[in-house]
Amino acid sequence: MNIESRLAQIGSINDPQTGAVSFPIYQSTAFRHPRLGQSTGFDYSRSKSPTRAVLEAAAADLESGDAGFATSSGMAALQIIFSLFGQGDHLLVSLDLYGGTYRLLEQVMSRFGVTASYIDTNDLDALESHRKPNTKAVLIETPTNPLMMVTDLAKVAAWAKQKGLLTIVDNTLLTPFFQRPIELGADIVVHSATKYLGGHNDVLAGLIVTKGEKLSADVAFLHNSIGAVLGPQDSWLLMRGMKTLALRMERHQYNATRLAAWLKVHPSVEEVYYPALPHHPGHEIQNSQSSGNTGIFSFKMKDARTIEPILRHIKLIAFAESLGGAESLMTYPAVQTHADIPEEIRRAVGVDDRLLRFSVGLEHVDDIMNDLKQAIEAAEKEING
């Protein structure tokens, strides 16, 4: 069955007792045992709940994995994954990385003896040169946030498997509608489901999908033990959002491609980072392993003085963190999403005081373009007198 149909049918045939097309919200935290030694399959909602179970099965199906796990946020999902590792373990991690992931690794996991090296994960020579005897996994964002660096997943996953390493892929920006890393050799896929999967800026959630019986069992143990699980109301909201994922991603992609191409030739813009554009370094790799492009991109203004007035003058576009919702949002990574990354590291990668990240929403593309156009014009007028 095509993925569009599988998305639309999430939860629609899972309640045989009532035939409910929208799977019910089971708010209960406890479940009766028929008798001693017997269970309905549900005992305590931290371990398993009916609404969350439907969501988790759908996630595993969409990502071609063996098991799915719904968590209380994307960071909670990463915490569970990082808990697979312990004292003395080392990870290879994408150089251009979401600031929250960097913070979790450097300020939390480091306390437990887990270390990380940040490198261009598309460079096998760099991966090999940074690999240590205690290296356990490769964590890849592709495309990365915010500079849209692309990694050849099949190439890196094959190398990692040869070296006995796990391949973990953050698939938040493309979703399983456009990219399925497990089919390319990854062992674990993680999502901030708050973003495109939820799609409406109204639910905080994370998802993990695993491949392999032992790995799935290990993550299930950590999911239950740590307890960072998604509640039934939020599980239902996430399923509702995912039903329209195909339609939304197509529109996000269309709008973002139009806007990125327009900004690419704008006289006030120095660079646009978006894999759909032919000039982008990862354009061909992206096209080979993904069926489409995300709705987020970044662009760098020529003059840093334009940043503050642009963010002040946008009207339809909201100056707000997060991404992937119906509404267009603009973020200033240097002081928001990537503030926890030391300045010298940020600047070395390219996340400087001229960079804006743009999560393109579902509004009419002309309205989004006109809003950004007037904001840039107002900013240029202010700084040039």
Active-site residue list: 46, 98, 170, 195
- Calpha distance 196→205 (Å, rounded): 11
Please check whether residue 83 is in contact with residue 28, taking contact to mean a CB–CB distance below 8 angstroms: no
Please check whether residue 330 is in contact with residue 356, taking contact to mean a CB–CB distance below 8 angstroms: yes
Residue 362: which residues within 8 A CB-CB, separation 6 or more? 248, 251, 252, 255, 326, 327
Lookup: tokens for 172: 């938040």
Q: What is the Rg, in whole angstroms, of the alpha carbon atoms belonging to the chain?
A: 21
Phi and psi at residue 141, in whole multiples of 5°? -100, 130
Between β-strands 135-141 and 166-170, what pairing exists: parallel, antiparallel or unpaired?
parallel
Q: Which residues sit opposite 30 in a β-bridge?
A: 44
Lookup: tokens for 167: 């391949």
- Calpha distance 385→380 (Å, rounded): 8
Please check whether residue 10 is in contact with residue 235, taking contact to mean a CB–CB distance below 8 angstroms: no
- Calpha distance 314→329 (Å, rounded): 10
Q: Is 214 exposed, middle or buried (0-12, 13-18, 19+ CB in 10 A)?
A: exposed
Q: Is 194 exposed, middle or buried (0-12, 13-18, 19+ CB in 10 A)?
A: buried
